[in-house]
Chain A
Amino acid sequence: MKLAVCIKQVPTREWQPRLDDSKTWIREADASFEMNEPDAYALEEALRLKEKHSGEVVVCSAGPARVAQVIREALARGADRAIHVEDDGLASADAFATSTALAAAMKDEKFDLILTGLQSDDQGFAQVGVIMAEKLGLPHATIIMEVEASGANLRVKRELEGGWFQWVAMPLPAVLTIQSGINQLRYATLKGIMAAKKKEIRKAAVPAGAGSKQKIVAMYTPEKGKKTQIIGGSAAEAAKELVRKLRDEARVI
């Protein structure tokens, strides 16, 4: 089974946002980055499918030079080789530009199954997998919690809202967007890290016509919808004051 996994590099959860001078994007120099969490689950799922069906896992990422860090990490976890669509403009690209770039770099590879996370923890479009499927002319399913592949057929468990699920069958090749929590993640071993250094990373250029279809005109810290009363003091003082407020002001305990 020839598997592709599309991964994105995003700021870490601990990152404190700072804006650049244009006030339309973040100050990248201040940020530390990691693999987008849902994409890590997609990678894990691909590695498990390879273990079951044999074949190859190719990791694909579209972004500036810095994304080589998460590509190396994916290779260390067990991906066989990588494709890096490298361009500085991809750092803040919309899902349309990202999917166009990824689809162009992947189309001649004739993958059986392409996996990616259901959305990214940066811009959070939840669109890339679905647009890629359309660009490649492949069927897709989103928010997947279980994958069964046999021969030319695929059966996947989709998460619906409010605790509902649904199995969907479709022919391969196909594109899936993977939900966090579908499996237990593995971490890279020292042996994996050493092996990753010898694995191939093919560089690809951004194709023509892959511009963003939306423009960020302003970026800012969220406006507070509510006035939050921050209670200070020691843990004991703050706790006592909170309980008083919940009892006497809010009357909820």
Chain B
Amino acid sequence: MPGILVVAEQRQGKLNRASWESIVGAQQIGNNITVLVPGTNTHGPAGELAAAQVREVVTLEHPALEPYTPDGFTAALADAIGQLSPDVVVLPHTYQTRDFAPKLAARLDRAIITDVTAVKGGAADQGTGVSVSFVRPMFQGKLTADVQPQGPGPHFVTFQIGAYRADQVAKGAAPAAVRTLSIDVDASKIRQKPEAPFQQAKQAVDLSQAERIVSVGRGIKEQANIHIAEELAAAINAEIAASRPICDAGWLPMERQVGSSGQTVAPKLYLALGISGAIQHLVGMKGANTIVAINKDPDAPIFEVADFGIVGDLFEIVPAIIAAVKS
């Protein structure tokens, strides 16, 4: 029975929901699970997470962990992993994890498999002799790979945001025990000096509340063509949004960006125009009820998540849709 350590993410007592998704991921691998809660003010989140069906919850409280730094987290977690000696370490694939987990794995000279969406040969196939593989997207989601870690454990695995739903977590009959682990972190060795986080855009547009969204990607070709999408949005009473390259180019403001670095949306209708569906975009919109994809490439990954698709030239199709809506 492999020992699995889930590293939850929280900041000053506020739990990142992706921590629940990681516990669901861990529950696909096995059931000997310990949840580690690093940071300061860890007791609240630890108490919440104790509701999950896990063996125990361990808090890792240290002033050197607030604010977050990769040097501080690597030192603290290397110490904790040494004490707890898990076989697998599971983390949510957040920006924070991406900042320190590869360093941690490299310090311990261990394998790290990132952005995992599913587990094969885990808890559900126990006793079948199949070794565990981790499923992850490759080539921007055009292909999928089953990957196995090599060499001694612990093996590190990060789960893509949205790979599992937080409400899929198996809950325990009684809350799991919570205990504290003491660690040694030399704060003088932390080289990064972070300043307070800030928001650049005022986020006047809350796309997460939109019922309908028309979203544009690289297929729109140039800024002068954005109006085509805006006309469609007006015709069906939708908000306009975009994938990252469009906002990077300044064709639409940053607060209109949907995806892992922008907003996460779940409208009734999401109409994707000329969006190929890179994984960073899909994580921001795959929760929409009805997804429509219009793209000239029939193999674009966006069609994997779409309910309705039209393969063709959006410059012909979108005006036709506007005409059809108005007729």
State the A residues within 8 Å of B (CB). Answer: 11, 13, 15-17, 19, 24, 26, 95-96, 99, 118, 121-127, 130-131, 133-135, 139-143, 158-171, 179-181, 211-226, 228-231, 235-236, 238-240, 242-243, 245-246, 250, 252-253
Residues of B within 8 A of A236 (CB): 320, 323-324
- The docked-state distance in angstroms from the alpha carbon of A242 to that of B237 is 17
Contact status A219-B143, CB under 8 Å: yes
Contact status A134-B107, CB under 8 Å: yes
- The docked-state distance in angstroms from the alpha carbon of A38 to that of B74 is 25
- The docked-state distance in angstroms from the alpha carbon of A229 to that of B305 is 11
From 198 to 232 in chain B, residues with beta carbon under 8 angstroms from any chain A beta carbon are 198-201, 203, 212, 218
- The docked-state distance in angstroms from the alpha carbon of A130 to that of B139 is 21
Query: Chain B: which residue is nearest A253 at the CB level?
Result: B236
Contact status A122-B146, CB under 8 Å: no
Q: Which of A11, A139, A214 has the most CB of B within 10 A?
A: A214
With A224-B304, A226-B305 as given contacts, are A235 and B144 in contact (CB-CB < 8 Å)? no
Query: Chain B: which residue is nearest A219 at the CB level?
Result: B145
Contact status A163-B200, CB under 8 Å: yes
- The docked-state distance in angstroms from the alpha carbon of A126 to that of B269 is 31
Query: Chain B: which residue is nearest A224 at the CB level?
Result: B304
Asked if B321 is an interface residue, CB under 8 A from chain A, the answer is: yes
Query: Chain A: which residue is nearest B315 at the CB level?
Result: A235
- The docked-state distance in angstroms from the alpha carbon of A99 to that of B133 is 23
- The docked-state distance in angstroms from the alpha carbon of A212 to that of B146 is 15
Residues of B within 8 A of A159 (CB): 95, 261
Contact status B138-A213, CB under 8 Å: no
Interface string of B72-111 (1 = CB under 8 A from A): 0010000000000000000000110011101101110011
Asked if B290 is an interface residue, CB under 8 A from chain A, the answer is: yes
Instruction: Give how many B residues have a beta carbon under 8 Å from the other chain's beta carbons.
Output: 93
Instruction: Decide if the interface of chain A is mainly helix, strand, loop or mixed.
Output: mixed
State the B residues within 8 Å of A (CB). Answer: 70-71, 74, 94-95, 98-100, 102-103, 105-107, 110-115, 133, 137-151, 191-201, 203, 212, 218, 236-237, 244-245, 247-249, 254-255, 260-264, 268-269, 276, 279, 289-293, 298-299, 301, 303-313, 316-317, 320-321, 323-325
Residues of A within 8 A of B323 (CB): 236, 239
The 3 closest A-B pairs by CB, nearest first: A181-B248, A239-B320, A213-B111
Residues of A within 8 A of B311 (CB): 230
Contact status A215-B99, CB under 8 Å: no
Among candidates B195, B269, B303, residue contacting A253 with C-beta atoms closer than 8 Å: B269
Among candidates B114, B148, B264, B276, residue contacting A126 with C-beta atoms closer than 8 Å: B114
Residues of A within 8 A of B95 (CB): 142-143, 159-161
Contact status B147-A229, CB under 8 Å: no
Contact status A96-B106, CB under 8 Å: yes
Residues of A within 8 A of B212 (CB): 252-253
Contact status A222-B308, CB under 8 Å: no
Query: Shortest CB–CB separation between residue B84 and chain A, in angstroms?
Result: 21
Residues of A within 8 A of B150 (CB): 211-215
Q: Can you show 16 pairs from A to B with CB atoms below 8 A apart? A: A124-B279, A127-B114, A139-B71, A140-B103, A159-B261, A161-B261, A162-B262, A164-B198, A213-B150, A214-B147, A219-B143, A228-B303, A235-B312, A238-B317, A239-B317, A246-B308
Residues of B within 8 A of A213 (CB): 110-112, 149-151
Residues of B within 8 A of A238 (CB): 310, 312, 317, 320
Contact status B137-A134, CB under 8 Å: no
Residues of B within 8 A of A214 (CB): 111, 113, 147-150
Query: Shortest CB–CB separation between residue A7 and chain B, in angstroms?
Result: 18
